């Protein structure tokens, strides 16, 4: 018997969806930062075994759209439910479960096989967690409720086992040597954006996008030129930093991780451009890889 199917990971921003999918795969396919809306695309991660293939979709955090980019992200969340076998809804153990969470859970449970994963148990204790789990236990049509820590890996194996209990029999949908359907070019752009998210101020990251202008092998190195796009001139100065120090810091951190990804030496050149209000421009949104045709 071979099992295969599609699993969407849903939840509010910053609940740990990307950390979870990276922990499950043992590979970094989805960037992580402490800032909301880090994930913009539906990222596909593929867990392969001789007896099964689980195709995970890491989705943007559930949100109320404020611009055209947010609208794209909202569409991608809804699209992630098409043809899905299982929904894993992720909750934050350190925060109250909102009525909107419960409403979403009831909605998904009425039409999909649903597993609840309560994340960040390493940051709380049983006395605080128990009342929240008791609240979830009263919900109907829930396949399983599993407390986990995506950061440390605690109970993540149990979550995979729970998925396998209800994963259908099928054929492998992807070659079994792949762990993502994303290109190296896409992964490189996301690594650069991740480093910018970590190092820059709170108001800047949501207006950042990455353009890869060059990606080619030269001698024994890979030459990459990328542009960090922002929306304001004042943001450009912050990204570059005094005497170019911030841009250098972002570039060095990104290059080291890109070299691990590609397993080779990399020459990375970063530039900064201003494209005002690009998140409201459908053409620019498409140019940066957020395309309705992919939803």
pLDDT tens figures, 216-248: 988 889 999 999 998 888 899 999 999 999 999
Does 158 share its domain with 200?
no
Strand order in the sheet with 209-218: 209-218, 221-230, 265-274
Per-residue pLDDT of 100-114, as tens digits, reads: 899 989 999 988 899
Distance of alpha carbon 34 from alpha carbon 239, whole angstroms: 18
Last residue of a domain, one of 166, 193, 213: 166
Distance of alpha carbon 15 from alpha carbon 96, whole angstroms: 12
User: Hey, how many other C-beta atoms are within 10 angstroms of the C-beta on 294?
Assistant: 12
Per-residue pLDDT of 114-163, as tens digits, reads: 999 999 999 999 899 999 999 999 999 999 999 999 999 999 999 999 99
Domain that holds residue 224: 184-294
Does 133 share its domain with 230?
no
Statement: residue 171 has pLDDT above 60? yes
Does 128 share its domain with 222?
no
Of 135, 140, 227, 147, the closest CA to residue 189 belongs to: 227
Q: In CATH, what number is assigned to the domain containing residue 218?
A: 3.30.300.20
Does 7 share its domain with 145?
yes
pLDDT, residue 28, reads: 79
Which are the contacts of 263, defined by CB distance < 8 A and separation ≥ 6? Answer: none
**Torsion 209-196-149-126 (CA) sign:** negative
* 69 in Cβ contact with 290 (< 8 Å): yes
pLDDT, residue 162, reads: 97
Statement: residue 34 has pLDDT above 60? no
Print the SS3 string covering 272-293.
Answer: EEECCCHHHCHHHHHHCCCCHH
Does 201 share its domain with 261?
yes
**Torsion 184-190-192-194 (CA) sign:** negative
Higher-confidence residue of 78 and 126: namely 126
Query: 76: helix, coil or strand?
Result: helix
User: What percent of the chain shows pLDDT beyond 90?
Assistant: 48
Statement: residue 179 has pLDDT above 60? yes
pLDDT, residue 111, reads: 87
Does 101 share its domain with 216?
no
pLDDT, residue 220, reads: 84
Q: Which residue has the tokens 């996008």?
A: 209
Angle at 115 between CA 120 and CA 130, to 5 degrees: 45
* Average pLDDT rounded to a whole number, residues 172-180: 88
DSSP states along 195-236: HHHHHS-TTSGGG-EEEEEEEEEETTEEEEEEEEEES-HHHH
Higher-confidence residue of 255 and 76: namely 255
Which are the contacts of 85, defined by CB distance < 8 A and separation ≥ 6? Answer: 5, 6, 7, 113, 166, 167, 168
Strand order in the sheet with 52-58: 43-49, 52-58, 3-11, 86-92, 113-119, 144-147
């Amino acid at each position: 018997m071979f099992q295969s199917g599609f699993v969407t990971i849903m939840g509010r921003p910053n609940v740990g969806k990307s950390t979870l999918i990276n922990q499950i795969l043992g590979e970094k396919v989805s960037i992580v930062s402490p800032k909301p809306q880090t994930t913009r695309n539906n990222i596909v991660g593929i867990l392969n075994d001789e007896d099964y293939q689980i195709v995970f979709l890491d989705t943007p955090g559930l949100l109320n759209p404020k611009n055209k980019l947010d609208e794209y992200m909202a569409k991608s969340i809804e699209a992630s439910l098409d043809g899905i076998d299982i929904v894993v809804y992720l909750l934050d153990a350190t925060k109250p479960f909102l009525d909107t969470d419960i409403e979403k859970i009831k909605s998904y449970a009425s039409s999909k096989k649903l597993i609840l994963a309560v994340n960040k148990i390493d940051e709380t204790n049983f006395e605080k967690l128990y009342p929240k789990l008791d609240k979830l236990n009263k919900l109907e049509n829930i396949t399983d409720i599993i407390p986990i820590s995506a950061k440390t890996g605690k109970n993540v194996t149990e979550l995979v086992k729970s998925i396998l209990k209800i994963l259908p029999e099928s054929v492998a949908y992807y070659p079994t040597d792949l762990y993502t359907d994303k290109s190296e070019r896409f992964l490189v752009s996301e690594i650069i954006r991740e480093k910018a998210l970590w190092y820059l101020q709170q108001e800047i990251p949501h207006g950042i996008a990455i353009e890869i202008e060059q990606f080619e092998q030269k001698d024994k190195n890979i030459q990459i030129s990328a542009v960090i796009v922002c929306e304001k001139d004042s943001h450009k100065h912050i990204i570059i930093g005094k005497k170019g120090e911030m841009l250098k810091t972002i570039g060095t951190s990104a290059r080291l991780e890109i070299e691990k990804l590609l397993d080779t030496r990399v020459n990375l050149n970063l530039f900064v451009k201003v494209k005002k209000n690009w998140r409201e421009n459908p053409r620019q949104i498409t140019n940066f890889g957020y395309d309705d045709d992919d939803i």
